[in-house]
Structure 1
């Protein structure tokens, strides 16, 4: 069993930032990622454009040059991949962590491929792994997807898009423009207030002109092979349907956190417990970094405001080692 000073679980932008900082400070570290480099970004829609400008997505003051002020997914993949390869970061890809247990002062980590021990752990696993399900009959059908990739697939199809956030709006607009017959199903009275300001007028105008249909104050009762049953303020409505994109948001892997022993708040927010000054969790020498710190409030932490976590954590680890 190989011992490593610091294991960073999650190879997204913040996990990479932690690896860069650990390397600069001379720590023996390893990043473990269950998929490719920046797995969550890789699974974003192919045409996605970030809300943040490129300089706000930079890590370790490494310039991020993009064609427009707000970069696209492919540019972000190139940026973070080059950081990993050019800096020769120690990262294991396609290696899912199954368990983390602490005995005395040592962490025991089991992955799908091997086992490790570590003195310190950083969890930077993000929130994109587990979709918020709508829990209705038919959600398990193969026509239903919680992740959206390429609009070409839905051309000439009757597509229901559930949700009113950025991901739902982007999918509705892109699929409409590739020839899909799009219907949006929105639980509230309007399109989400956090939708990108340059996109919101587009979706509102398409709905107003009837190019994209929208049901507001509506939820899904049941999904069937050839139709979808809606609950509206005027009663039940059945519409023809070929495919469903249930883009209702995502959440951190709370089960994984609880198995490790990280305490979560009792309310629906499920905030993990950590020291805001050091990012150390309720488990000594186990730190949280990035979006995972916000629990269900996944809009609180972004790359741009959680980049500092890397320096904060590594500084605390170094000070602890010096005091031993």
Structure 2
């Protein structure tokens, strides 16, 4: 049941300037252990994603729609993890894990924008794989640079719009206190619980965003793979079928990891006992996934390995 307070009480509670983030754990010794672990994960995430972006830009053999989308995915993952990790790392070393109202709103805005843009971008990448397998002779014509750029702009624009529509009503609610967020980042589901005004509009917007962007993108990806499988089954040779499937195996692995962890975070029942589980799942969704995405594409991709070898040979012969 939502709290019902008067307008005078709402004005009295509207001046919140700080939230307190409880973090992953309140064990100080464990925090000191976790700091180098998550610092290493963050640095590896930045290194692999930046390296992949640079490699794709430097090697002309990788100037194709698939690698254009992949470089955009790495850029989104860098922004995604950068909106979470630096704050979390600093909180490991702090006694008081406070975050200003504006910083909290900004953090959620960035997380929401990058997360929803990634949903849409993965859907665009699924369409790219369908065209490559289902219509290979017209692939370069269909997936022209202009269309690819519009698809990326659409993914970023959709994420931006949804993020604005979620952030503004949430952070315009009235908060009663205590201003304690039971998480290591400004999780909107935790912030809504702190409100003492009506939550209906914010919860409705969150639900619509989840259905339209999250489940809509997932449905589009599933349909794309239905057509991909149908196209693969039409290939007569086993070798050709395996080669066709291998072109989308990395994307399928990334989609499974991203959507699997996202569904685990947002679909499991909420309870006091599930708080620790929710934090662990959020770590995989927000911290681990951006690190693994470039590794999945790099380790399974012959073209990226060959491009890296070419760059190393050029560097070795550079006077």
TM-score (norm 2): 0.34
| RCO comparison, higher one (Cα < 8 Å, 6+) | 2
TM-score (norm 1): 0.33
Greater percentage in strand: 1
